[in-house]
Amino acid sequence: MRTQVAIIGAGPAGLLLSHLLHLNGIEAIVLESRTQAEIEATIRAGVLEQGTMDILNNAGVGARMQAEGALHHGIELAFGGQRHRIDLTELTGKAITVYPQHEVIKDLVAARLAAQGQLLFEVSGVQLHGVDTTTPSVAFVHRGEAARIEADFVIGCDGYHGVARPAMPGQGRQDFKRDYGFGWFGVLVESAPSSDELIYARHERGFALVSTRTPTVQRLYFQCDPADHVDNWSDDRIWAELHARLENDDGWRVNEGRIFQKNIIGMRSFVSTPMQSGRLFLAGDAAHIVPPTGAKGMNLAVSDVALLAQGLEQFYRRGSEERLQGYTAAALKRVWRAEYFSWWMTSLLHTFADATPFQREVQRAELECVVGSRAMATALAENYVGAF
Ligand code: RFL
Ligand code: PHB
């Protein structure tokens, strides 16, 4: 098989990139290890920045997001028994949209299939060859048969555990990493939203987050031991923990309902540089991870591939590699800002096992500054909506 761009991974990064390339008349093949049903059912992100929505809308895949996504003009920070609203729109002129990542995936898959895009599911044994030549190739197994794609470029959109980053030449690479030592316990709940806006809560027992998915499904999280197991948490124990962490003086309570999914994720920050070598480029979680507190992961994946699509378009249309060569620098500028913000939100809102009493008081004081100072609230809001 021969194509212009071989893309590994059909997450938001890989699917959107293949669609943006298609819109520019560039051919791509996407290789995905899971089934279509699996990728369309994986529950992950929920918050889309305006810039992400603009990219999806301009690519013609935003109709359902516009119809079904919920526009949020603020978020709440809860601590010390009180809830404080950060008015995102008043402070920045922008808003965010809550629309589940797996719905974005469904929209992108539908668009790719409608355009007869080449999307191969259930591939295995993906191996990259010749990425430092102008004729790279990808070997893999599909439907029990060995196959190979010859391409001009290979793009690793295969997430944190993928094969593309390990295939990068080791020389000159630098990885930056921070493990937080805690995780998030996430539940999906059949019930009406408890709040019109997301609530980020700091409590001595640990962080909690109230988010939504649809008018009948809530997404709730609480800080936990990443080595804990969902089976240790009965529904009653989960509700007791959430009520304890979300306690407040005005009598507001999170709505209970049937819990139909539980999962635990670890929290880490990670950046691998450079994001390119020869004809191999990395995008999204394959190159960087943020803790979910800042809601930035999918937004970064989308902005990476928007840059790559521009670079590839310039290459094929004008024969210039200038933008492609500047990809790492352009992407990392935004990536590091998101790394900073996600680290800061995480530090502000979680309990740290090794925190001294002094550090705990400073953390509480910082939260008071954020809700009390328009300048600090604006800084949070600008970062949260992706205003700069
Ligand atoms: P993905 O989504 O991990 O997709 C990678 C795809 O590659 C496939 N793959 C392979 N295919 C072929 N061969 C191989 N060897 C392969 N290895 C892997 C995988 O099967 C998969 O389909 O990466 P991508 O596209 O870079 O997208 C990144 C986002 O998914 C991620 O950053 C976000 O989900 C992060 N995130 C959030 N981001 C936001 O912008 N807003 C949020 O509100 C938000 N909340 C979250 C989140 C992530 C979470 N988890 C579960 C980590 C909340 C949570 C709980
Ligand atoms: C979510 O709804 O899954 C979500 C929302 C905000 C975050 C992280 C996750 O910061």
Q: What is the pLDDT of residues 220-236, one digit of tens each?
A: 999 999 999 999 999 99
Mean pLDDT split into 10-residue runs, the chain, 388 residues: 98 98 98 98 90 97 96 97 97 96 97 97 98 96 97 98 95 95 97 96 97 92 97 98 96 96 96 97 98 97 98 97 98 98 98 96 97 98 92
Predicted confidence at residue 214, as pLDDT, reads 87
Pick the closest to residue 219 from 66, 385, 45, 346 (CA basis): 45
CA-163 nearest atom, ligand 1 = 15
Q: Ligand 1 pocket test: which of 271, 281, 285, 385 has the largest number of ligand atoms within 8 Å of its C-beta? A: 285
Rounded to whole angstroms, the Cα distance separating 47 from 200 reads 13
Q: Is residue 183 within 6 Å of ligand 1 at its C-beta? A: no
- The pTM for the full model equals 0.96
User: Hey, which residues are catalytic here?
Assistant: 72, 200, 292, 296, 384
Rounded to whole angstroms, the Cα distance separating 74 from 300 reads 21
One-letter amino acid for residue 189 of the chain:
V
Burial zone of 353 (CB within 10 Å; 0-12 exposed, 13-18 middle, 19+ buried): exposed
Which residue in this structure is represented by tokens 């997301």?
A: 198
Pick the closest to residue 30 from 9, 13, 49, 16 (CA basis): 9
Domains parsed from the chain with CATH numbers = 5-70+96-176+268-344 (3.50.50.60), 181-266+352-385 (3.30.9.10)
Q: Is residue 291 within 6 Å of ligand 1 at its C-beta? A: no
Distance between Cα 43 and ligand 1 center (Å): 10
Return all residues near 154 (Cβ < 8 A) that are at least 6 apart. Answer: 5, 6, 7, 8, 128, 131, 136, 138, 164, 279, 280, 281
Which ligand is closest in space to the CA of residue 11? 1
CA-219 nearest atom, ligand 2 = 2
CA-45 nearest atom, ligand 2 = 3
Q: How far is CA 312 from the centre of its chain?
A: 23
Rounded to whole angstroms, the Cα distance separating 3 from 12 reads 21
Q: Is residue 123 within 6 Å of ligand 1 at its C-beta? A: yes
Q: Ligand 1 pocket test: which of 56, 140, 158 has the largest number of ligand atoms within 8 Å of its C-beta? A: 158
One-letter amino acid for residue 183 of the chain:
G
Q: Is residue 49 within 6 Å of ligand 1 at its C-beta? A: no
pLDDT tens sequence across 228-274: 999 999 999 999 999 999 999 999 999 999 999 999 999 999 999 99
pLDDT tens sequence across 181-215: 999 999 999 999 999 999 999 999 999 999 998 89
Pairing of strands 280-282, 276-277: antiparallel
